[in-house]
Amino acid sequence: MINADKIAQLCYERFEQLPRRGKPEPGREWTLLAAVVKITRRADSDTVEKEVVSLGTGTKCIGQTVMSPRGDVLNDSHAEVIARRGCVRYLIQELHSAVSGGGSSVFCLADQRGKWRLQLGVSFLFFTSHTPCGDASIIPMTDSQPQPCPPVTSVKEHEGTDVGGDRKRKAEELSEGQNTKLACLVEQGPIEIKAKGPSDRDGVHLQIQDIHRTGAKCVPGGPADPLQSGAGYHSTGVLRVKPGRGEPTLSLSCSDKLARWAVLGFQGALLSHYLQEALYFSTVVVGKCPYSKEAMQRALVTRCSHVSHLPAGFSVSPPLLLQSRLEFPFSQAQTELRHQARQGCISPCGAAISWCNVTEQPLDVTANGYKHGVIKKIKTSVIFLHVCVFRSPLCKLELFHSFLSLVSATSPSALPDSLRKAELQTYWDYKQASQSYQQAWQQLHCQAFPLWPRSNRDLLLFS
Ligand SMILES: [Zn+2]
């Protein structure tokens, strides 16, 4: 029913239409793209409408020391996370319109007091230009299974100086690519690269038994990667934290987050107050890149398929997994193909773009978790960093404020039961009061992801 190529094309075109700001410099910078597509099947016709409602780009994640207790910074700017948050903005606006009598193309009233549900025929699909970081990126490489992505044959190979470590290192960047240094190392020559790690010793066996690697490290407190050569380098099926700028992050890999959304929904705790049923992505489409259906299945589906005892409104809802043959023009591989020596080192684009289908400020460009351009301009007066004009509308605080304005717009008689407590004040309070969501999370946590770090309450007490 779903044509993966058409979905990819729709998302690439939507990106194309955005203004220049925050986009990668062609041939030098690359980025990752993700999007949420609303699918509407009309009962009275055979046609299916597809609309990109949220789009995100980005490759960065901030370290834990710069996380803010005010909720005003974007901790995780991977494209997938940006796309989900933009979609939450869009859904808040839809609900806002619905509760104010303005109608919605997404929601209709459900039978429980104050609750809404998806209209018949409406569903959401998730697109990502690349295999999500973390577990899904640990992909077997074999001779019999040629990699879909051309640059597995490295730059150096064409020059007749191929060294296994180089190729392997190269493959690692391709599958993940959050480390800015790697592209430069490749430019500098294979010898330096060869000496980089224990994994690079036996290059000759590469093609027989190797894997694409992830830069995302296992979460603390659990088993670590064996780091053996070839296929024994990684453990599979484990939770991983995202690689940050040198220092550890607290953000889980996109593979882990997608797996979580397939049980808890992608709407988050706040919107769960208003929804009778969690919202699940019906399908996940990945663009052309190193990809393994088995690894995707393991990372996104199998790890949670046994979870039971979920409260009403929640279910284990794995997405259909599809891959497109169309590659994102700003992927790392495409950038390398177009790169010219005079352009300097290839690097991931530092900015993250969010666009979503909302009336106020649909476009948002950030760097380092704040509005783009702000950090550089006022580096000397750090005090201004927290003035609201620099916050992204996607940060926790802004999403919380949008949610609170939805609550204010809801007439008291139409308020969901979970929001009828007088003592709710902070972001933390509102999240905790979302009881079914918290119960579902409890089940998922103890049955599938006991090592998933608990959120730090001190960082969530803003209002
Ligand atoms: Zn990621």
pLDDT tens digit sequence for 363-418: 999 988 888 765 555 544 554 444 445 899 999 999 999 999 999 999 999 999 99
Binning pLDDT at 50, 70 and 90, where does residue 153 land? Answer: very low
Q: What's the gap in Å between 111 CA and the centre of ligand 1?
A: 37
Q: What's the gap in Å between 285 CA and the centre of ligand 1?
A: 15
Q: What's the gap in Å between 257 CA and the centre of ligand 1?
A: 9
Average pLDDT rounded to a whole number, residues 257-280: 98
Residues 6+ apart with CB under 8 A from 320: 2, 282, 283, 284
Q: What's the gap in Å between 134 CA and the centre of ligand 1?
A: 7
285, β-bridge pairs: 127, 322
Lowest mean pLDDT: which of 80-94, 197-211, 250-264? 197-211
Residue the block writes with tokens 């979905």: 7
Q: What's the gap in Å between 90 CA and the centre of ligand 1?
A: 22
Q: What's the gap in Å between 242 CA and the centre of ligand 1?
A: 7
CA 70 to centroid of chain Cα atoms? 22
pLDDT at 373: 61
Q: With 0-12 CB in 10 A as exposed, 13-18 as middle and 19+ as buried, what is 387?
A: exposed
Q: What is the dihedral sign for C-alpha 225, 230, 231, 237?
A: positive
State pLDDT tens for residues 328-372. 999 999 999 999 989 999 999 999 999 999 999 999 999 888 887
- Pairing relationship of beta strands 347-348 and 240-241 according to DSSP bridges: unpaired
pLDDT at 166: 43
Q: Are 67 and 61 in contact (CB under 8 A)?
A: no
Q: What's the gap in Å between 216 CA and the centre of ligand 1?
A: 9
In degrees, rounded to 5, the angle at the alpha carbon of residue 54 between the alpha carbons of residues 50 and 58 is: 130
Q: What's the gap in Å between 116 CA and the centre of ligand 1?
A: 31
d(C-alpha 365, C-alpha 20), whole Å: 11
Residue count (the chain)? 463
Q: What's the gap in Å between 398 CA and the centre of ligand 1?
A: 22
Instruction: Please count the other Cβ atoms lying within 10 Å of the Cβ belonging to residue 61.
Output: 26
Lowest mean pLDDT: which of 88-102, 152-166, 299-313, 350-364? 152-166
Q: Are 139 and 131 in contact (CB under 8 A)?
A: yes
d(C-alpha 232, C-alpha 66), whole Å: 34
Q: What's the gap in Å between 31 CA and the centre of ligand 1?
A: 11
Q: What's the gap in Å between 133 CA and the centre of ligand 1?
A: 4
Q: What's the gap in Å between 78 CA and the centre of ligand 1?
A: 5
d(C-alpha 326, C-alpha 307), whole Å: 34
Q: What's the gap in Å between 186 CA and the centre of ligand 1?
A: 22
Q: What's the token pair of residue 367?
A: 């760097």
Instruction: Judge whether residue 199 has pLDDT over 90.
Output: no
Cα first-last separation, the chain: 44
d(C-alpha 236, C-alpha 135), whole Å: 6
Residues 6+ apart with CB under 8 A from 350: 60, 367, 368
Lowest mean pLDDT: which of 67-71, 164-168, 284-288, 378-382? 164-168
Q: Are 178 and 31 in contact (CB under 8 A)?
A: no
Q: Are 397 and 71 in contact (CB under 8 A)?
A: yes
> Out of 80, 172, 327, 336, which one is annotated catalytic?
80
Q: Are 289 and 149 in contact (CB under 8 A)?
A: yes
- Pairing relationship of beta strands 281-286 and 320-323 according to DSSP bridges: parallel
pLDDT at 200: 37
State pLDDT tens for residues 310-328. 999 999 999 999 999 999 9
Domain ranges of the chain: 4-130+251-417
Judge whether 247 counts as a catalytic residue: no
In angstroms, the Cα distances linking 264 to 90, 281, 437, 460 are 19, 11, 7, 20
d(C-alpha 90, C-alpha 362), whole Å: 9
